Amino acid sequence: MKRIRCPKCENYLQFDETKYGEGQSLVFVCEHCGKQFSIRLGKTKMRAPQKEECPDEEEFKDALGSITVIENVFGFKQVLPLQEGDNVIGRRCVGTNINTPIETSDMSMDRRHCIINVKRNKQGGLAYTLRDAPSLTGTFLNNEILGDKDRIRIEDGAIVTIGATTFILRSGASEESGKQ
């Protein structure tokens, strides 16, 4: 069975791809929103969706770090890279422009929930700062809720909970080389 996502509501639809040949066009109607759309079967140029993989937590170790989203009833395990500057973290949703979207059905997570700022300190190491976006349910660092104006420095292994979803910060390699 193959899964495709509705371009309007992002609901998943399943179909048996073995019944159809390469190059054949299929038309679907989303059961959730009623949107009609078509696809053409063929060899994909995209990489496999992360749900069917075992994401490598060490993949972004040489970059600026990453967050590892822990699998729960709302979503699968994900490893999302961080970039320099503000990384806005929240629930992936059509029309919401954030740079670190978590694919989840956790409605207690805001679309823009929290922000991790990554910057280099004077020694060239990486510094990570966590703050709430602000969100409706709050952002928790090691089970302690952050205040609206809090800016908390976090280190490798910091456990952050947003809504019912938890992720762990994995710092980049240059952090250790910058410490004295």
The string of pLDDT tens digits covering residues 49-96 is 445 455 556 666 667 899 999 999 998 999 999 999 999 999 998 888
Given the structure tokens 């250790």, which residue do they identify? 176
Write the CATH number for 156: 2.60.200.20
CB atoms within 10 A of CB 92: 16
Indicate whether 53 belongs to any domain.
no
Query: Taking 50 as the threshold, does the pLDDT of residue 127 lie above it?
Result: yes
Are residues 71 and 159 located together in one domain of the fold?
yes
* Within-domain flag for 72: yes
- 159 with 73, same domain: the answer is yes
Total domains present in the chain: 2
Q: What is the pTM of this model?
A: 0.66
Q: Is the residue at 48 inside a domain?
A: no
Taking CA 43 as the corner, what is the angle to CA 37 and CA 49, rounded to the nearest 5 degrees?
Answer: 75
Contacts for 86 with CB less than 8 Å, ≥ 6 apart: 99, 115, 116, 117
Confidence class for position 166, pLDDT limits 50, 70, 90: very high
Domain span at 116: 64-168
- The answer to whether residues 109 and 152 belong to one domain is yes
**Residue whose C-alpha is closest to residue 113's, from 124, 102, 128:** 102
Residues 23 and 87 in one domain: no
Q: How confident is the model over 17-41, as pLDDT tens digits? A: 888 887 788 899 998 899 888 888 7
